[in-house]
Amino acid sequence: MKIPMRQCSACRGHFEKRQLLRIVRTPDGDVLLDQRGKVSGRGVYICRSEECLNKAVKTRALSRALEAPVSDETIESIRQAIRESANG
Ligand SMILES: [Zn+2]
């Protein structure tokens, strides 16, 4: 079976989909972290790594890929999810 691979928008590396976090721009234009991979809309992926998140914030990689602003709140929820996956 073929493993679905996705590209991290920060480091540009390709990884298994389940290793990445998905961030979605919903049809309403909201940008949010898609914890379960079920939210419909335009999605981008990022490594579960604060290094990649910081890089994405600095280069605005997420908002450019999504063509929508990413709120600090969304960034914080991504950071939280990264920390949680690092802990367990
Ligand atoms: Zn990455």
How many A from CA of 15 to the centre of ligand 1? 9
Average pLDDT, the chain: 94
pTM of the model: 0.90
pLDDT score for 88: 61
Sign of CA dihedral 88, 20, 34, 3: negative
CB 62 within 8 A of CB 9: yes
State how far the Cα of 70 lies from the Cα of 85, in Å rounded to an integer.
21
Strand partners, 43: 24
What CATH code would you report for 5-87? 3.30.1230.10
Q: Give kind and range of the element (H or E) at residue 14.
A: strand 14-16
How many A from CA of 51 to the centre of ligand 1? 8
How many A from CA of 10 to the centre of ligand 1? 5
> Could you say which residues of the chain have pLDDT below 70?
88
How many A from CA of 73 to the centre of ligand 1? 20
pLDDT score for 2: 87
pLDDT score for 57: 97
